[in-house]
Structure 1
Amino acid sequence: MKRQTNLLDALNRDDIVIGRVVDFAPAHDLLYPLDFTNANKELTSDILEDTDLFTNWVENKLQLNACRYGIGGYNEHRSIYARSAHFDTDEEPRRLHLGVDIWGPAGTPVYNFHDAVVHSFKFNNNFGDYGGTIILKYVLGDVVIHALYGHLSVACLDGLEEGMYIPSGQQFATFGAKEENGFWPPHLHFQLIFNMQALKGDYPGVCQYSKRDIYLNNCPDPAPILKHTFSSALV
C-alpha cells in the first residue's frame, strides 16, 4: 500500500503534469459505465461468442446513451472471460480485471499522459489476448510505474524500440480492430504496474480471484491518471 500512497502523493505534486490518454471534452462528452459481471443479464453467450454481435452491443449502448466512450472494469469480477480459453487455468480460471477499459471506435487515438520511455511491446496474438501491446515506463517524482496499453492496432508497434523516448502529449497508438486486438470490440485496456516481474510486452490484465490482493497491490487503480482526461465525467 505504501507504493500506492507514494504514487498518489506524486500525482498531487505541482511539478508533475498529467495529460490526456484519449480525446475527451468534459463540457459535452459523456462516459457510459459498462458492467461485465454476472449482474449484466443482457450479455448472453450468443453475443459474447460472436465479436461482431458483442461490438454491436457496446456500440448500441454508447449511441443510446449519447456517450463518447464506455468505461470501467478495475477490480471487476467479469464473467465475459469465459468466452476465451486464454483465461482458463487448471486450478482456477482468471476472471478479475486489473485495468480500466475505454470502449470506443477502432482508430481512436491514444496519447501519452506524461514523459516516458518504451519499456517493451509485443503483438499478443491469441483469441481474447491483448493483440497490439505497448508498455511505457514513467518516473513520477520518486515513483517508477509502468502503463500497459493493450488492444492496439499492430501498426502502432512499427518503429518502436525499447528505451525510446515518448514525450508527454504525443499520440503513439490507436485502438485496434478485432483482427489485431485479440478479437474484442475495439477498446483500450489501460493498466498501471509497479513491478513488471521481468516480463516484456505482456503482463496479466486478468488474474485469479484468489490472487486478487497480490495483483491489486502491484496494479493500482488508474483512476487518478484518467481523471485528468475525463474530469468530473469519470465514474
Structure 2
Amino acid sequence: MLTEILKAHQPFQPVVLFDPTQDHLYPMDLTAANTALTHDILDDEQRFSDYVTNLLATHHAVFGIGGYGEHRTIYSRSAHFDTGDEPRRFHLGIDIWGPAGTPVYAPMDGRIHSFQFNDNYGDYGATIILKHVLDGVPFHTLYGHLSVADLEGLEVDAPVAAGQIIAHFGPLKENGHWPPHLHFQLIIDMEGKAGDYPGVCRYSERARYLANCPDPNLVLALIA
C-alpha cells in the first residue's frame, strides 16, 4: 500500500541538492564484487574515506549512490554487525556518499519521531527519524550518519516542513566512523524502537525487513 501511495505523491522535495541536468551521480558497489575495496582500506577509516573521495573525484561525481537490497561484505569491519549466530550484511537503505557538512532536507512534511547518537563503531552515529502520514497511512524516514550538532535543540513531535534543512552529513568521528554519507531509509513500523532501527539485517531475515522497509528511491528518485 505504501509503495503505491508514494508513487502517487511523487515527486518529493530533494533530500540532497544537485542539478540533474549537469551533476553526475556515481553508482557505488560495496559488495564483494568490488575487489578494489580491500581489507586494508576498510580497516583504516581515513583510507576508506579517502577511497570514496577519490572515487567520486575520478568519476566527476557530486555524490555516490546505492545500496538498497545490497549484500555487503564491508560490515565485517565492525563487530556491531556480528552479534548472534548469523552476521548482518543485507543493507536496507540507500546511501548518498559526499562531503561532510552536506545539507540534508526533509522530503515532505512530518514530525520528529525520535533522535539519538548511536555512538558505536560502524553504527549510525547521530540519527534522526521523522514520522509522516500520506493518505492516512503513517510511515517513517530515517537519516543516519549525521553531525552531532544537528541533534541539539530537537524535540520529539516537533513539526518539520518539506524542504527544511534537518541535518548535515557528519564527519568520521561523529557518524559511526564511516566515510561521510547519508543513510536514508523508509520504515513502515518502528516496532517500538526510537532513535534507531536496523539499517542492515541478516540475509535470512531479508524478506521481513524488506516488507517493512520499502525502496527509498520511491522518495529519493536518484536511481533511474
Q: Which residue of 2 aligns with 1:170?
A: 164
4, 25, 28: which one pairs with 1:9? Answer: 4
Q: Which has the higher helix share?
A: 1
Distance 2:6 2:209 in 1: 21
1:4-57 Cα shifts (integer Å, max 9, x gaps): xx223222436x761110011101011101111110101111100111100111
Distance 1:107 1:176 in 2: 6
How far does residue 144 in structure 1 lie from its aligned partner after superposition? 1.1
Conserved 8 A contact 2:3-2:214: no
Aligned runs of 1:110-125 on 2, under 5 Å? 110-125=104-119
Q: Which residue of 2 aligns with 1:3?
A: none
Distance 2:83 2:205 in 1: 13
RMSD across aligned C-alpha pairs, in angstroms? 1.1
Any gaps of 5 or more consecutive residues in structure 2? none
Aligned runs of 1:76-155 on 2, under 5 Å? 76-155=70-149
Normalising by structure 1, report the TM-score. 0.93
Conserved 8 A contact 1:10-1:142: no
Any gaps of 5 or more consecutive residues in structure 1? 1-5
Partner-residue secondary structure (3-state), 1:180: coil
AA of the residue aligned to 1:106: A
AA of the residue aligned to 1:75: G
Distance 2:204 2:4 in 1: 29
Distance 1:201 1:226 in 2: 21
AA of the residue aligned to 1:10: I
24, 32, 43: which one pairs with 1:49? Answer: 43
Normalising by structure 2, report the TM-score. 0.97
Distance 1:103 1:117 in 2: 25
Residues 1:207 and 1:12: Cα distance change in structure 2 (over 3 Å):
closer
179, 189, 195: which one pairs with 1:201? Answer: 195
